[in-house]
Chain A
Amino acid sequence: MKESLRKDTKQDFDERQLLERGKAFRNAFYTALFDVLILYALNEFAGLKFIDPEFICYFLIWTSVAVFLHTAIWYDAFEAPNDTGEGRMVVIIWGVCGAFLLLSTVLRTAAYLGLPKEERDIGNLLNTVVTALCMLSIFITYALKRRRRQRYEEE
């Protein structure tokens, strides 16, 4: 019976989780579209020329990944019933990396401010901040959800 409902994939999500993940993918896709719209408007109409293609790539990818993972984690569709803890490891590593990146950005900002105006590259600094914030927020959501789940299971 158990086998009949599962496929031979590594992460074997059940039917509700697959539906939730589908919704999460949809949200991530809309986020990417919305990001393009906002960044284009900022670049073309607001005249914020610091938005370079590299930043746009980082921003699109990380915000979409963050939206997907937040939705999947929040609706219990991140870990499959046969989960081996790989997802948890990735999120923990992201949390550590995010904290490190944020800390390094603070130090880099001090160095950045010391540079002459024409040599300043704010795009690179923003890439790091966006990446760090997305990584950290995913970690925090996961930790909160896990704590909530543990509390429920204790009751």
Chain B
Amino acid sequence: MGKNLKLKAARALKDMSQKQLADAVGISRQTMNAIESGDYNPTIKLCRAICKALDQTLDELFWEE
């Protein structure tokens, strides 16, 4: 699994740090880092929570072409 650059870009667009986004969805900063770097494949529940926190859709953040 490659890096999730779309998630990183969306987070940067919202001017949020990994820690801030992690706190917003109730996970640890390390887990957020693992998701962004592609080391961890989150559940759909967590994906939805991240999407809502960043005002994005699942397709925009997690769909791989």
Contacts and interface: CB of A to CB of B under 8 A. Distances in A.
- A and B form one complex: yes
Interface of A: 1-6, 12, 14-17, 76, 79-81, 149, 153
A56 to B, nearest CB: 36
A5 B30 contact: no
Majority secondary structure, B binding face? helix
B27 interface: yes
Closest 5 CB pairs of A and B: A76-B30, A14-B27, A5-B26, A16-B31, A2-B26
B27 A15 contact: yes
B10 interface: no
A1 B49 contact: yes
A16 B49 CA distance: 15
B28 A80 contact: yes
Contact of A5 (B19, B34, B46): B46
A14 B25 CA distance: 10
Max chain A Cβ within 10 angstroms of own Cβ: one of B27, B45, B49 = B27
Nearest to B39: A16
Given A16-B31, A16-B34, A76-B30, A2 B40 contact: no
